[in-house]
């Protein structure tokens, strides 16, 4: 969730944050994570994940005695909606935890992060990946991202390249865009084009926080952006190749993996894997619509 004042938004990650002031007037916060370098050491308790009084998952955390990783991330404290990429959001920390918990899935791989914002997830991916392309758009976001990559270059082993990609233009896309219907549409449409350009199907992971609002129209708490994302899964997206479209199937992954960063893993945090299937446009009406599954 995020706090908002007027037309500005503040990520819950930054509430109570104490960082150092950068030369650009932004903050630099140390994000500490914990890695198990020696498999003979049991940094976790044997307790299974439990729920707190709010129904949020309480995952066992490593003892502070074993703090052995720090990423120093420059970020803004509050921004307008178009500049939320200048902040760190809980979805980024969830994705970072997932990559650390499943490091074998990116070990030695080429990773493309779309909508990287401050670059935190790209830096975490580069702990195991061989090459990471950290992409976003906007002058200020790109400058902050580049400084974060330079600042943390000694903390990762993979090579990280910062590149600008505007995912409202052809052949571009983004992660964690499920707060805007327009960006969600552009994200899925451009993933289809990415699939065609690569001539292969990449592993696509999407992490976000389902944002619930009370609306006068519904007179109930709803998540309109999330609902729009789910409805988009029933749409065929052009690949840019005449006669070929892509359909999506979304698989919701469990969030009960180890927690390496300090944040509250609320029940609204979700991580999904998207699967793409090529469809001949002249056979679309003969095929069933893609489905959604939960683990």
Copy the structure tokens of residue 103.
């490091």
Q: Is the pLDDT of residue 63 over 80?
A: no
Copy the structure tokens of residue 63.
């003892």
Task: Identify the pLDDT of residue 58.
Answer: 58
CA distance 161 to 122: 9
Tally the C-alpha atoms within 13 A of residue 50's C-alpha that lie toward its C-beta. 7
DSSP state of 46: S
Helix, coil or strand: residue 280: strand
Where residue 219 falls among pLDDT bands split at 50, 70, 90? low
Taking residues 195-220, what's their average pLDDT? 73
Strand partners, 252: 272, 294
Task: Identify the pLDDT of residue 181.
Answer: 77
Q: Is the pLDDT of residue 137 over 50?
A: yes
Task: Identify the pLDDT of residue 243.
Answer: 74
Task: Identify the pLDDT of residue 25.
Answer: 83
Taking residues 35-58, what's their average pLDDT? 50
For residue 202, give the nearest of 175, 227, 223 by alpha carbon: 175
CA distance 32 to 71: 7
Copy the structure tokens of residue 218.
């519904």
Mean pLDDT value across the chain: 77
Where residue 120 falls among pLDDT bands split at 50, 70, 90? very high
Strand partners, 214: 221
More confident of the two residues 81 and 124: 124
Task: Identify the pLDDT of residue 247.
Answer: 83
Q: Is the pLDDT of residue 133 over 60?
A: yes
Strand blocks (E) in the chain: 2-5, 8-11, 20-21, 27-33, 50-51, 57-58, 69-75, 79-80, 110-114, 131-136, 159-164, 204-209, 213-215, 220-222, 237-238, 244-253, 269-280, 292-294
What are φ and ψ of residue 122, in 5° steps?
A: -60, -40
- Which region holds residue 199: left if phi is over 0, alpha if psi is between -120 and 50, else beta? left
Asked if 284 and 245 count as a contact pair (C-beta separation under 8 A), the reply is: yes
Q: Is the pLDDT of residue 32 over 80?
A: yes
Q: Is the pLDDT of residue 71 over 50?
A: yes
CA distance 245 to 228: 20
Highest mean pLDDT among 1-10, 27-36, 169-178, 205-214: 27-36
Helix, coil or strand: residue 228: helix
Q: Is the pLDDT of residue 56 over 90?
A: no
Lowest mean pLDDT among 35-49, 153-167, 270-284: 35-49
Q: What is the largest CA-CA distance in the chain?
A: 61
pTM: 0.79
């Amino acid at each position: 969730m995020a706090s908002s004042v007027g037309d500005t938004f503040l990520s819950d990650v930054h509430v109570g944050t104490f960082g150092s002031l950068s030369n650009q007037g932004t903050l630099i916060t140390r994000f500490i994570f914990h890695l198990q370098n020696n498999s003979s050491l049991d940094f976790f308790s044997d307790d299974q994940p439990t729920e707190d009084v709010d129904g949020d998952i309480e995952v066992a955390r490593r003892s502070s005695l074993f703090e052995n990783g720090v990423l120093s991330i420059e970020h803004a404290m509050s921004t307008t909606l178009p500049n939320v990429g200048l902040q760190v959001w809980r979805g980024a920390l969830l994705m970072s935890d997932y990559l650390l918990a499943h490091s074998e899935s990116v070990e030695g791989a080429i990773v493309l992060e779309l909508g990287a914002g401050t670059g935190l997830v790209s830096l975490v991916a580069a702990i195991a990946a061989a090459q990471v392309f950290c992409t976003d758009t906007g002058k200020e976001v790109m400058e902050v991202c580049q400084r974060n990559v330079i600042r943390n270059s000694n903390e990762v082993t993979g090579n990280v390249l910062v590149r600008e990609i505007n995912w409202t233009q052809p052949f571009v896309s983004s992660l964690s865009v499920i707060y805007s219907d327009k960006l969600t549409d552009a994200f899925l449409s451009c993933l289809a084009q990415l699939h065609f350009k690569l001539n292969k199907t990449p592993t696509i992971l999407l992490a976000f926080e389902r944002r619930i609002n009370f609306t006068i129209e519904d007179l109930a708490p709803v998540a309109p952006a999330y609902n729009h994302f789910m409805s988009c899964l029933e749409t065929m997206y052009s690949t840019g190749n005449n006669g070929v479209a892509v359909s999506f199937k979304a698989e919701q992954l469990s969030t009960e993996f180890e927690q390496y960063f300090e944040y509250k893993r609320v029940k609204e945090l979700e991580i999904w894997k998207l699967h793409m299937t090529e469809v001949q446009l002249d056979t679309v009406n003969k095929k069933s619509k893609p489905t959604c599954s939960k683990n």
